[in-house]
Amino acid sequence: MPELKESLGHKYLQETKVSREERGGPSSPAIQRPERWKTYPGAEVVELPRDWQEQGVDFLSILQQRRSVRSFVDAPMSLADLALLLWASQGITGQAGSYFFRTAPSAGALYPMETYLAIQRVEGIDPGIYHFDVQGFRLERLSALLPGRPLAEACLGQGFMAQAPVNFIWTAIFRRNMTKYGHRGMRYILLDAGHICQNLMLAAGFLGMGGCPVAAFFDDEVNDLLGVDGQEESTLYLASVGRKG
Burial 197-234 (b: 16+ CB within 10 A, else e): bebbbbbbbbbebbbbbbeebeeebbbebbebeeeebb
Burial 28-56 (b: 16+ CB within 10 A, else e): eeeeeeeeebbeeeebebbebeeebeeee
215 near ligand FMN, rule: CB under 6 A: yes
190 near ligand FMN, rule: CB under 6 A: no
Binding characters for ligand FMN, 138-177, by CB under 6 A (x = yes) = --------------------x-------------------
Smallest separation, CB 239 to ligand FMN (Å): 9
212 near ligand FMN, rule: CB under 6 A: yes
Q: What is the size of the binding site for ligand FMN (CB under 6 A)? A: 9
Smallest separation, CB 68 to ligand FMN (Å): 4
Q: What is the dihedral of CA 74, 216, 82, 40, to 10 degrees?
A: -120
Smallest separation, CB 243 to ligand FMN (Å): 16
198 near ligand FMN, rule: CB under 6 A: no
Smallest separation, CB 152 to ligand FMN (Å): 11
Smallest CA-to-CA distance from 131 within 155, 158, 113 is with 113
Task: Rule CB under 6 A: choose which of 11, 33, 50, 67 binds ligand FMN.
Answer: 67
List residues binding ligand FMN (CB under 6 A): 67-68, 70, 158, 212-216
